[in-house]
Amino acid sequence: MYLLALDLRDVAAHRKQAILLHCLGTEDQRVFSTLQPTDDSFEAATTALLNHFNSETGQQRASRK
């Protein structure tokens, strides 16, 4: 929604990833820094984050909050 609101549908994948990381909170930025995305694209970043938070470890961390 954020990218659409700013009319950023056609920006480069690495720029989309930078915007995503900027919009994350401090804790999620810390989590992302521990992940190993396949490249610097938006899709790789979202896949890495989704895999983390859908994993058992991610669910355990979320339940402690």
Q: Quote the pTM value.
A: 0.68
SS (H, E, C) 8-65: CCCCCHHHHHHHHHHHCCHHHHHHHHHCCCCCCCHHHHHHHHHHHHHCHHHHHHHHHC
- Residue 51 pLDDT: 92
The structural domains of the chain, with segments of one domain joined by +, span 2-64
SS3 1: coil
Q: What is the mean pLDDT of residues 19-38?
A: 89
pLDDT at residue 37 tops 80: yes
Instruction: Give the integer Cα–Cα distance in Å for 44 and 55.
Output: 16
